[in-house]
Structures are given as structure tokens and as C-alpha cells.
Amino acid sequence: MARDYSFSVSSATNHFNRPNFVIAYATAVFALDPKAPANANNMAAAIYTAGKSLSQGKTNSTGINSYQKDAEAIYLYPFPSQ
């Protein structure tokens, strides 16, 4: 099921400008199968892309940094199968 939603998550990340929805969707699909690299990568991309969108209106300097760090941590995530 997680595999079926992979494309949907990535396309929503790329083409759908609803950051909160995209993060919720990507994290939910990742939780369905945390061993799949595609889901983790999709989640990282969603967090970074949506985070960029969410932090645009904010004035504090941290802004995108927290999203960026979390996305980076997810990219580093070693998969149990590897």
C-alpha cells in the first residue's frame, strides 16, 4: 500500500502547494512502511519543500533551517535492509 502511494506523495510534493497537507500525507505514508527508501526520500523531500513554503512568511532566522536539518536526518537514515 505504501508503494502504491509513493507516486502520489511525490507528485503532491512537487505540484500541490498545500504544505501542511503534504507533510501529513508524506509522513503517514512513510509510517506505513518505514523500511522503504522511497518513502523516506519522499518524506524528506516533502518536509524540505513544504518547510520552505511554510517558512516563507516568517521573519525569524531559523526559518527553513529546522526543516532542512530534519530532511537531512531523514536522508541519512540507514535502512534496516541495507
- Interacting residues toward other proteins by CB under 8 A: 1, 5, 8, 11-12, 16, 18-21, 23-25, 27-28, 30-31, 34, 40, 43, 47, 50, 70, 73-78, 80
Report residue 63 as a C-alpha cell: 526559518
CB of 80 to other proteins, least distance (A): 6
Which one, 31 or 62, has the nearer CB to other proteins? Answer: 31
11 contacts: CB under 8 Å, gap ≥ 6: none
Least gap, CB of 50 to other proteins (angstroms): 8
Least distance in angstroms from the C-beta of 61 to other proteins:
20
Q: Which is nearer to other proteins, 11 or 62 (CB)?
A: 11
Q: How far apart are CA 25 and CA 34, in angstroms?
A: 14
CB 46 within 8 A of CB 22: yes
Alpha helices in 1-82 (DSSP H): 2-15, 19-32, 37-54, 64-76
